[in-house]
Amino acid sequence: MVKPVKMCYFQKNWTQTFTWVREDPKNSNNACCHSCNTTFSLSNMGKGALVSHENGSKHKNIMALQNKQQPISQMFVIQQEVPHVTSTRASEVSERIEVPSPRINETGSGNPPFVIADATTKAELLWAMKTVVSHSSFNSADGSAELLANMFPDSQIAKNMKIASTKMTYVINYGLATYISENAFKMFCPKQISL
């Protein structure tokens, strides 16, 4: 007679050790990795299945990328007063967005100085605004960073730009749109509304 296999159940205290894991709401014998966006079986391994997933190359690569990413909130400087924008020209709108001036790191050696992310971030935001104002496809951003780097080989900002359709979509939908809608709400409804 074959013994029935004992299945392991998700333990809530695992979330303290493995911050990326959560219980599968559909099956308590499974765990979900919110970083990898995958569900896997705990089977009869239990915590060992979590360790095995954590040591997988896909999970390690995703975690490394997440640790490198700059939060989108650091791309913007909140202004005290939001200017009224009536123009649809990207060059005029860009003059009203406050982005810190680029910091240049002077190297003591013969190496040229390099520009830190502020100017590059501003260039990426301006490119995103140009895409919106021109009603261009997000896919039009694919290859544009490489094109700009080739067009302007002496520009460190053009070399540092990394914007393609995925990042363009994210910057516009979750960065610019959120920033503009929050500030538009503050501009049109300056008093707090309680419900």
Does residue 9 lie within any of the structural domains? no
CA-derived radius of gyration, the chain:
24
Rounded to two decimals, the pTM is 0.39
Angle between helices 57-68 and 47-54 in degrees, nearest 10 = 60
pLDDT at 43: 81
* pLDDT number for residue 108: 46
For tokens 């960073």, the residue is 145
Q: How far apart are CA 179 and CA 164, in angstroms?
A: 21
Q: Do 51 and 109 share a domain, yes or no? A: no
| 53 in the same domain as 81 | no
Rounded alpha-carbon distances, angstroms, from residue 50 to 13, 44, 176? 13, 12, 37
Please give the average per-residue pLDDT across 47-58, as a whole number.
91
The domain of 43 spans 14-57
- The per-residue pLDDT for range 101-112, each reduced to its tens digit, is 444 444 444 434
Q: What is the mean pLDDT of residues 87-112?
A: 47
pLDDT at residue 56, as a whole number? 92
What backbone torsions phi and psi does residue 21 show, to the nearest 5 degrees? -105, 150
d(CA 36, CA 34): 6
Least-confidence region, from 14-18, 49-53, 124-128 = 124-128
